[in-house]
């Protein structure tokens, strides 16, 4: 599988977003939109209205990464905004994982599941074959510019081996501290 690149929309300059999106849409394989509610993580970012404007501007898929306490409240709004993929944190859906996955599919989106650095892969073992995208956080949620948590590199390797050995359908995405110093490290893992 090829190595794909996504931009981080939370790092865009909101005063130049349209121009930046047009440029990035040519260069990237997809767009990654970090949505934060100020509860699940200590930051507020990207509303459904902003995502709708993004989706009207770009041609590539938009992965809406819901770093929110209760993703079920937001799924329909972001699907209607034009999300291609709805990524929720496994930690937030532990009592409703299958219901949440079915709802995301019903809304016409691909299913993404994100795991925080300290959450083991085994947390999603019962529904790993139901997801399209596994996002492994390499930093704690909440802010751009954090340093890599090195223990996650082994988790990326484990996920890759698990995917291969169990013939799981998901793609692996790395989120956090993605830069020219870490790309090769992530790719090799």
Sorting pLDDT into bands at 50, 70 and 90, what band is 112? very high
pLDDT tens-digit map of 130-151: 999 999 998 888 877 777 788 9
Sorting pLDDT into bands at 50, 70 and 90, what band is 38? very high
- Residue pair 117/139 in contact (Cβ under 8 Å)? The answer is yes
| Catalytic option among 7, 34, 63, 132 | 34
3-state SS, residue 88: strand
What does the pLDDT read at residue 59?
Answer: 97
Alpha-carbon torsion angle 117, 123, 124, 127, nearest 10: -170
CA 185 to chain centre: 19
Cα 3 from Cα 68, distance rounded (Å): 28
Cα 84 from Cα 108, distance rounded (Å): 8
Instruction: Please state the rounded mean pLDDT for residues 36-57.
Output: 94
| Catalytic option among 7, 63, 132, 175 | 175
What does the pLDDT read at residue 95?
Answer: 95
Cα 98 from Cα 118, distance rounded (Å): 22
Q: State in Å, rounded, how far the first CA of the chain is from the last one.
A: 14
Residue identified by tokens 């016409």 is 108
Residue identified by tokens 């394989």 is 29
What does the pLDDT read at residue 99?
Answer: 98
What does the pLDDT read at residue 1?
Answer: 56
Q: Which of 6-15, 48-57, 119-128 has the weakest average pLDDT? A: 6-15
34 is catalytic: yes
Cα 42 from Cα 13, distance rounded (Å): 20
Cα 110 from Cα 115, distance rounded (Å): 17
Residue identified by tokens 């484990």 is 158
How is residue 63 annotated by DSSP? E
> Is 70 exceeded by the pLDDT of residue 2?
no
pTM of this structure? 0.93
Residues pairing with 35 in the sheet: 66
188 is catalytic: no
What does the pLDDT read at residue 110?
Answer: 98
What does the pLDDT read at residue 93?
Answer: 97
Mean pLDDT in the chain? Answer: 92
Cα 147 from Cα 18, distance rounded (Å): 29
């Amino acid at each position: 599988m090829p190595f794909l690149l996504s931009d981080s929309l939370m790092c865009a300059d909101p005063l130049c977003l349209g121009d930046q999106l047009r440029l990035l849409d040519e260069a990237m394989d997809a767009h990654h939109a970090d949505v934060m509610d100020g509860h699940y993580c200590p930051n507020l970012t990207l509303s459904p209205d902003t995502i709708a404007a993004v989706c009207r501007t770009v041609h590539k898929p938009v992965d809406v990464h819901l770093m929110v306490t209760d993703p079920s409240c937001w799924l329909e709004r972001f699907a209607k905004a034009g999300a291609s993929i709805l990524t929720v944190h496994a930690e937030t859906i532990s009592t409703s994982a299958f219901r949440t996955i079915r709802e995301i599919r019903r809304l016409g989106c691909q299913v993404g599941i994100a795991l925080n650095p300290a959450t083991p892969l085994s947390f999603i073992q019962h529904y790993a074959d139901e997801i399209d995208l596994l996002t492994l956080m390499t930093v704690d949620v909440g802010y751009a510019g954090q340093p890599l948590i090195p223990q996650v590199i082994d988790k990326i390797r484990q996920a890759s081996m698990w995917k291969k050995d169990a013939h799981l359908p998901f793609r692996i995405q790395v989120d956090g501290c993605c830069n020219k110093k870490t790309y090769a490290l992530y790719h090799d893992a």
